[in-house]
Structure 1
Amino acid sequence: MGLLGIVCALGLLMWLSFRGWSVLVLAPLAALLACAFSGEPLLAHWTLTFMAGAAGFIAQYFPLFLVGAIFGKLMDDSGAVQTIAAAMTDWLGARRAIVAIVLAGALLTYGGVSLFVAFFVLAPMGHALFQAAGVPARLMPAAIALGTSTFTMSALPGTPAIQNAIPMPFLGTTAFAAPGLGLLASAVMLGCGLWWLTAQERRARARGEAYAPRTPFGSGASAALVRERGSTAAHFDPAEMHQGARHAGAAGRSRRALALAVAPLGSVVLVNLLAGLVLLPRADLAYLAAPRFGATAAHEVAGVWSVLLGLLAGIAVVWGLFRRRLEDVRATVDAGANAAVLPVLSVASLVGFGSVVAALPSFALVRDWIVTLDGGPLVSIALATNLLAALTGSASGGLTIALEALGSGYLQMAQAAGLDPALIHRVAVIGAGTLDSLPHNGAVVSLLAVCGCSHRESYRDIVVVSIVGALLGLLVVLLLGSLFGSF
């Protein structure tokens, strides 16, 4: 009965999430359903087990959500995001509309700009560019997804995406874990996605299919749905996109304007790298072993601190370069801070659900089955993160649930097999970024709404660039990692 309860709870979570219910309600409800099937005390698991797991996630990752959202909002309101997107489209031109949107999205998200900030900036520019080039608008969601939520989220070394930060405390790794494998996986994802999209563009032109105007994303019920669904997909609440005070001037297109706009993104990556490889390893962090700091090991926080320092540096650079263009700094910072609250609570609720499931006696059977799969810890963690991300519709939620329940076991298995934890890190993150892009995924729903497209029109292309390409990249990492280890 216990296993049946877990299956029913996951099914309820997936079904009602697809129908637009808030995960803040669904996660505890599904957890209580699993407890009821197992004959476990309901209130104890809700107020103690569930809340302990959710609170632990918030305590560990809320600083990243907060600082990341503020950085993204500052970049947006200063006009720097618009400058980068406009410069990329001007540089590549209408003839390469798809490539321009993909690369603009990749540059923004690799530099630390939130997924939804990129969505709202790239969609209007994408429409203008696709219309000028005569490319069907139905291909735009997949082009944006390829640039913003595939290789820059899970594979590219040093990405400040929350998914790349989650394994660090569990495995003692950094954002640059397995850089060579990450670069190869990124090349596979990008190459597969661009091949598919350019082939679809040629076929559309051969059929005489042209650009058709779309209704832009509006307010009301659709906005509320995007807000609830999108909150589990990134660290930015879409409702805050139109708050603050965006710079009213046109985006600069000169080389100097582009260099200034890219500078904060470069500072995020550079400081993240220096902090992780030079500053923190040489710093005296022995004080963390004191009881008042929870007897914490330095490697448990160093990775998250590196990303946090990178984002703080990005904020400082934005302020230094664009403070005159930030018309209302308080409103911008407030909007960014508010934008971090709902996402972190939503993902934490999924983590709380996973904590309850992991505490049930029947889960031991599932855990033992997963960790003893043929192929060793690499295949096991890839399968676990794939399945949990698919069921929850959230890469960050599925990844955290998998590591909360099985992280210590994977680390022990890796050490016994002589595997570098960095390899486990990269496999886990890429695995979480594959089947999470099912139709109920918050980022998919939000992206389609922002672009004015439907699942029927655009979802097939999203599947190829976000799922098929990511799975191919994962297979490359699994194969090369098994043969040569981490590099």
Structure 2
Amino acid sequence: MIGIIGLLVAIGILAFLAYKGVGALPLTIAAGLVVIVSNGMNLWESFSEFYMNGYIGFFKSYFLIFASSALYAKLMEDTGSAISIGYKFIDWFGKGRAMLVVLLATSALTYGGISLFVVVFAVSPIIMVLFKEADIPRRLAMGPLLAGSAAYTMTVLPGSPQLTNVVPTTYLGTTLTAAPVFSIIVGLLMFVVEYAYLKWEEKRLRAAGEHFTYIEGTDHTMYQIDRSQLPSATKSFIPLIVVVAMIVGLRKVMPSAASIVLAMTVASAIAMIFNWDRIKDKKELLNKGLGGAIGAIAGPCAVVAFGGLVQNSPAFQNVVAWINGFNMNPYITGVTATAIISGITGSSSGGVRITMETFAQQFIASGANMDYMHRLTSIAAGSLDTLPHSSGLFLMFSWLGLNHKQGYRFVFVTTVLVPFIFTIVCTAAVIALGL
């Protein structure tokens, strides 16, 4: 019990310190100490093995993705390509639909295979243009960015290539399109609710007198250039199209990480060739673009490291055993276990993976419909996974020049509250209908 209380206190510390603006490394070390002491773990082993294995493991798995993506984002922004794309979206849809454009663009990229850790690099320069022209507070960008990448496209829509939808297939024998009709209906309903909330927030913030602001310390002049001086929209769209096309097209040819790095590298090369004369200092651009990956990946690494330490604590094992001890409806067991474990680890894919490793055979033996089990656990994984200590949040907040205090409200509603409500309603509906 002391260990479990310590685990909850540690997560509370993470949330509190994040709101106070403390960096990921010191706050995860502080929270990690609470877990270690309350669980009677060896101090040196916990940090040198469990914590560092998580840190190094994430760095090793994602650094090349972060580096290639950061370079792509820098090139698209500095060459004016992203700005040109943003203005073209305004021409097509108008300033009043800036929120909808960002939500749909993020959704399309995520559904196309670009991960949450990458989509922020591709979309953030476009967000700056759209939100500036529509005079929407920059902190609200966390809403459509997270709703489009970490809600319905990640967990609900059939065929999603995101890990949260992929993991159940390896344990339950299902496919990526499990329960397709049910998934489409739920996905559309979730999209409508998310968009309605974001428009309400936009009106509320505007009525409160909030306006768009640039990221502190960045060069604002690139967004104040005459449109006639920008590269053509057609030329600007090509690198973005290449990214999506290569990631989707190479999905079955090579590992997803390799396809993302290759796609981002090729797109960056195209953007540089198309805008060769526009880049005044190519060496500086490359240095800043690739160097930006170091700062971007540091926060997520630290949070994943904390998650690795937590997963090796006795309290975490006790929580899993506690859930397993309940004799509940298999669907309720599935969503409860997935939501709680995703919340503790701060990871939807990690939560659903641990749940499946622990309960998959029990689910199959229960006689429940595995397609609906797949879909319900995926939805549940996308509920509590984005509590304040979620690793992806530290990347997105940092990249957009924000902190938890400024933007977590929008994250909580779009990726915790709404998915959590849908989890309860969908589970109740499946059980009531005898599916």
Fold match by TM threshold 0.5? yes
% identical equivalent positions: 18
Shift of 1:42: 0.6
Match of 1:38 in 2: 39
User: Which residue of structure 2 aligns with residue 231 of structure 1?
Assistant: none
Matched, 1:358 2:311: yes
Confirm or deny that 1:99 pairs with 2:100.
yes
3-state secondary structure, aligned to 1:362:
helix
Give runs of aligned pairs for residues 70-109 of structure 1, distance below 5 A. Answer: 70-103=71-104
Residues 327-346 of structure 1 aligned to structure 2 (within 5 Å) = 327-346=280-299
What one-letter code is carried by the residue in structure 2 that aligns with 1:275?
L
The equivalent of 2:28 in structure 1 is 27
Task: Give the corresponding residue for 2:232.
Answer: 257
Question: Would the alpha carbon gap of residues 201 and 265 (structure 1) be closer, same or farther in structure 2, given more than 3 Å must change?
Answer: closer
CA distance, structure 1, for counterparts of residue 303 and residue 371 of structure 2? 25
Indicate if the aligned counterparts of 2:102 and 2:127 stay in contact, CA closer than 8 A. yes
Which of 317-326 and 329-338 deviates more?
Answer: 317-326
Query: Whole-Å Cα distance in 1 between the matches of residues 85 and 64 of structure 2?
Result: 26
* Distance in 1 of aligned mates of 2:376 and 2:60: 23
**Superposition map of 1:299-448 within 5 A:** 302-370=255-323, 374=328, 375-376=330-331, 378-380=334-336, 382-384=338-340, 386-388=342-344, 397-399=346-348, 402=351, 408-409=357-358, 427-428=377-378, 431-432=381-382, 436=386, 442=394
User: CA offsets per residue over residues 183-239 of structure 1, 9 Å max, x none?
Assistant: 65553343223333456778x79xxx75846473564xxx7xxxxxxxxxxxxxxxx
Task: Quote how far apart the aligned CAs of 1:369 are.
Answer: 2.8
Q: Deviations over 1:105-147 (max 9, x none)?
A: 65677785642674465245424324xxxxxx56x744x3343
2:75, 2:268 within 8 Å by CA — same for their partners in 1?
yes
Match of 1:126 in 2: 131
Unaligned runs of 5+ in 2: none
From the superposition, tell whether residues 107 and 217 of structure 1 become closer, same or farther in structure 2 (CA, over 3 Å): same
Contact 2:84 2:236 in 1 (8 A): yes
TM-score, structure 2 normalization? 0.73
Residue in 2 aligned with 1:276? 251
How far apart are residue 366 of structure 1 and its match?
Answer: 0.8
For the 8 Å contact 1:217–1:450, the answer to whether it is kept is: no
1:82 shift after superposition:
1.0
2:120 maps to what in 1? 115
SS in 2 for 1:312: helix
Report the residue type matching 1:366 in the other structure.
V
Per-residue deviation, residues 71-117 of structure 1 (Å, max 9, x unmatched): 22222222221112111112222454543454456567778564267
Query: Do 2:168 and 2:356's aligned partners in 1 also have CA atoms closer than 8 Å?
Result: yes
The 3 A distance-change label for structure 1 pair 317 and 124 is: closer
Q: For the residues of structure 1 that align with 2:280 and 2:187, how far apart are their CA atoms?
A: 38
Q: Tell me, yes or no, if structure 1 residue 216 matches structure 2 residue 165.
A: no
**Cα shift at 1:341:** 1.6
- Name which of 131, 148, 152 aligns with 1:151: 148
Amino acid at match of 2:79: S
User: Is 2:154–2:165's contact at 8 Å kept on the other side of the alignment?
Assistant: no
| Structure 1 residues 249 and 75: CA distance shift in structure 2, 3 A | same
Contact persistence 1:69–1:339 (CA under 8 A): yes
1:35–1:41 Cα contact (<8 Å) kept: yes
Identify if the C-alpha distance between structure 1 residues 27 and 446 changes in structure 2 by more than 3 Å, giving closer, same or farther: closer
Structure 1 unaligned spans of 5+: 131-136, 224-240, 281-301, 390-396
1:267 aligns with 2:242: yes
Tell me by how many angstroms 1:260 deviates.
Answer: 2.6
- Partner of 1:289 in structure 2? none
The residue correspondences of 1:177-192 to structure 2 (distance < 5 A) are 177-178=176-177, 186-192=187-193
SS in 1 for 2:5: helix
- The 1-side partners of 2:377 and 2:54 are apart by 24
CA deviations 1:247-267 (Å, max 9, x no partner) are 98545699x933332222222
In 1, Cα distance between equivalents of 2:381 and 2:83: 31
Compared CA separation, residues 242 and 272, structure 1 to 2 (3 A)? same
Instruction: Tell me which amino acid in the other structure corresponds to 2:234.
Output: A
Partners of 2:92 and 2:316 lie apart in 1 by 53
Letter of the 2:386 partner, please give it: D
Aligned-partner Cα distance in 2 for 1:320–1:425:
44
SS of residue paired to 1:156 = helix
Cα distance in 1, alignment partners of residues 389 and 303 from structure 2: 18
Task: Decide whether aligned partners of structure 1 residues 13 and 210 sit closer, same or farther in structure 2, where only a CA change above 3 A counts.
Answer: closer
- With over 3 angstroms needed to count, the CA separation of the structure-2 counterparts of 1:212 and 1:39, relative to structure 1, is closer
Return the alpha-carbon distance in structure 2 between the equivalents of residues 24 and 14 of structure 1: 13
Write the distance in 1 (CA, Å) between the matches of 2:64 and 2:400: 29
Paired residues, number: 414
CA contact (8 A) 2:74 2:289 kept: yes
Which one-letter code corresponds to 2:339 in the other structure? Answer: L
- Cα-Cα RMSD: 4.8
Tell me the distance in 2 between the aligned counterparts of 1:246 and 1:97. 20
